[in-house]
Amino acid sequence: MSTEGNDRKNEMARTAALAFADALASVYRAQLSERLIGAYLIGSIAHGGFSHRYSDIDLALVTEDGLDAAALTKLRALAAEQDAALSQKLSVSGPIAISALADCRHSIAPIISTMRS
């Protein structure tokens, strides 16, 4: 495959992944309500190196009180309802301490940010 064709596939895949993540952020906000402080894309999708073949969709959730295994299982099920294929590429991390985000600002892209003072 030509480099141009590969670049086009990567960009189309990144666009689809971003739309999926945006939809998930809304669904997760509805599910978690005030517990969700922020949702961030991290990794290759955030810094522009997304590959349609190799990249996953790394989503970091910042919450007030953490997420237990049952909550993460529910979030994964909600992702599968949104898009079964893209949900297979989803990696959800959380909770993340707010202070930890300051160290990785260059590698994150906020989807939802309702950081409280």
The full 3-state SS of 66-86, as one line of letters, equals CCCHHHHHHHHHHHHHHCHHH
pTM score of the predicted model: 0.77
Assigned token pair, 69: 């295994």
Structure confidence at residue 64 (pLDDT): 75
- Is it the case that residue 108 has pLDDT exceeding 50? yes
Per the model's pLDDT, the better-predicted residue between 59 and 93 turns out to be 59
- Spacing of C-alpha 104 from chain mean position: 15
Tokens 């290759």 found at: 44
pLDDT in tens, 13-54: 999 999 999 999 999 999 999 888 888 888 888 888 888 888
Q: What SS3 class is residue 45?
A: helix
Backbone torsions φ then ψ of 101, nearest 5 degrees: -65, -30
Question: Which of residues 82 and 1 earns the better pLDDT score?
Answer: 82
Domains and CATH numbers, the chain: 3-113 (3.30.460.10)
**Which positions ≥6 away from 2 have C-beta within 8 Å?**
none
